[in-house]
């Protein structure tokens, strides 16, 4: 474990300043009040490439000799490491090829190409893309730059800890997203070198908890599958070279359900006006799982590369989860004035109608049963319940329509 030394971290910190934006800590009054702690964000989503990955890529390339660079570089990535390698390779004047899963958001693919890298799409998840990248490296004699299972890459990522501790020397907890473990290895190792009292909490998606499972088994373990919207951390197997550092320096692992990431996205947009990708939101969602009070906590926001289609979907899901958008079904007699009556009731309750669906064919007796489905905005759960109660009081027997297309009577 002597290979990750303070001297190398200091060297990397000096080097990465050449390609990184200074990301000062952002104090969160909202999350501090929600959790009873002093919460700060390390906004790596504000880097030029949209994520922290440029740190490890740039430092790694700086350690390569001229022969290794001349061969050309190849890597595999779900998106952020791809952009980091592509950008760093461009600055170094080195050719780069990046293999990305076919499920990678289009924005990440296009951004990687914009830095001059050749992009190859292969496999459904990172691990499959990585296997193919190794194959191409062997066939074409390229120099492989692993996105996480590389000590030089992990050293570059760890420079984040240097910046956090310089700015907030009294930090108690640092929350770090985990995919393969490169970021967490670098941050945890350097943090413990500088101050062993700092607690490092790794955060994984519940559907891709390869590091948690490996720690439980006491050895690097491969998950049979991964299933998460946090594409940047959708890894089946953590890094072999990194595992001993994680065992030594990480104090705990928290896992996060995808539904929590959706809510965290809304919180960040509404309270901090920040776009943070799902993997970066892991440490935001983890704040509510911390059983501590009056501590200084830093959540690393690892990236912000999210395409607008994904954003739109997450916002919609988040509003539904928080009862700020809901659909209710009522049955009306099919006669003039009934729709106006319902609309007036909703207006009095301050329900903002988004969509109406009027179905005359739910029953052969139209005088007894015409269905009206109303999708509307509310201020939250209490307001939604108030609207439903008003409809019930007016004799409409409302049924909430569940998101998956089923509904239950109130």
* Residues with a known catalytic role: 53, 302
* DSSP H or E segment with residue 152: helix 151-157
Q: Report helix angle 159-167 to 182-194, nearest 10.
A: 40
Q: 121, 104 in Cβ contact below 8 A?
A: yes
Report which DSSP code applies to 170: T
State how far the Cα of 187 lies from the Cα of 208, in Å rounded to an integer.
Answer: 20
For 347-409, list the strands marked E by DSSP: 352-359, 370-377, 399-401, 407-409
What are 216's two structure tokens?
A: 């439980």
What are 85's two structure tokens?
A: 């390698």
Q: 203, 249 in Cβ contact below 8 A?
A: no
State how far the Cα of 349 lies from the Cα of 390, in Å rounded to an integer.
Answer: 8
User: Phi, psi at residue 27, to the nearest 5°?
Assistant: -75, 135
Q: 99, 129 in Cβ contact below 8 A?
A: yes
3-state secondary structure of 399: strand
Q: Apex CA 169: angle with CA 8 and CA 233, to 5°?
A: 60
């Amino acid at each position: 474990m002597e290979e990750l030394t303070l001297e190398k971290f200091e060297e990397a910190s000096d080097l990465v300043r050449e390609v990184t934006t200074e990301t000062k800590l952002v104090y969160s009054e909202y999350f501090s009040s929600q959790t009873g702690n002093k919460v700060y964000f390390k906004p790596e989503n504000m880097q030029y490439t949209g994520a922290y990955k440029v740190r490890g890529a740039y430092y790694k390339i700086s350690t390569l000799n001229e022969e290794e660079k001349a061969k050309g570089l190849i890597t595999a990535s779900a998106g952020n490491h791809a952009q980091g390698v592509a950008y760093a390779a461009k600055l170094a004047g080195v050719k780069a090829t990046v293999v990305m899963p076919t499920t990678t958001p289009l924005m990440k693919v296009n951004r990687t190409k914009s830095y001059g890298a050749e992009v190859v799409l292969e496999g459904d998840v990172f691990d499959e893309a990585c296997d193919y990248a190794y194959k191409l490296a062997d066939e074409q004699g390229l120099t492989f730059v692993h996105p996480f299972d590389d000590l030089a890459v992990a050293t570059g990522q760890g420079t984040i800890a240097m910046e956090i501790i310089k700015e907030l020397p009294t930090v108690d907890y640092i929350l770090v997203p985990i995919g393969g473990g490169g970021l967490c290895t670098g941050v945890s190792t350097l943090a413990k070198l500088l101050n062993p009292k700092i607690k490092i909490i790794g955060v994984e998606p519940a559907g891709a908890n390869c590091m948690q499972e490996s720690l439980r088994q006491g050895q690097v373990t491969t998950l049979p599958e991964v299933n998460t919207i946090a594409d940047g951390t959708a890894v089946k197997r953590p890094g072999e070279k990194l595992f001993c550092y994680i065992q030594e320096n990480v104090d705990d692992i928290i896992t996060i359900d995808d539904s929590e990431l959706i809510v965290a996205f809304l919180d960040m947009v509404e309270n901090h006006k920040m776009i943070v990708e799902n993997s970066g939101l892991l440490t935001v969602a983890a704040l509510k799982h911390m059983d501590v009070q009056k501590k200084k906590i830093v959540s690393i926001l690892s990236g912000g590369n999210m395409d607008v289609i994904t954003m739109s979907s997450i916002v919609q899901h988040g509003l539904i989860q928080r009862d700020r958008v809901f659909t209710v079904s009522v049955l009306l007699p099919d006669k003039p004035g009934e729709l106006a009556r319902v609309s007036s009731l909703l207006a009095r309750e301050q329900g903002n109608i988004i969509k109406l669906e009027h179905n005359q064919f739910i029953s052969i007796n139209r005088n007894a049963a015409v269905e009206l489905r109303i999708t509307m905005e509310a201020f939250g759960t209490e307001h939604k319940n108030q609207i439903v109660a008003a409809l019930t009081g007016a004799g409409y027997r409302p049924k909430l329509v569940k998101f998956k297309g089923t509904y239950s009577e109130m």
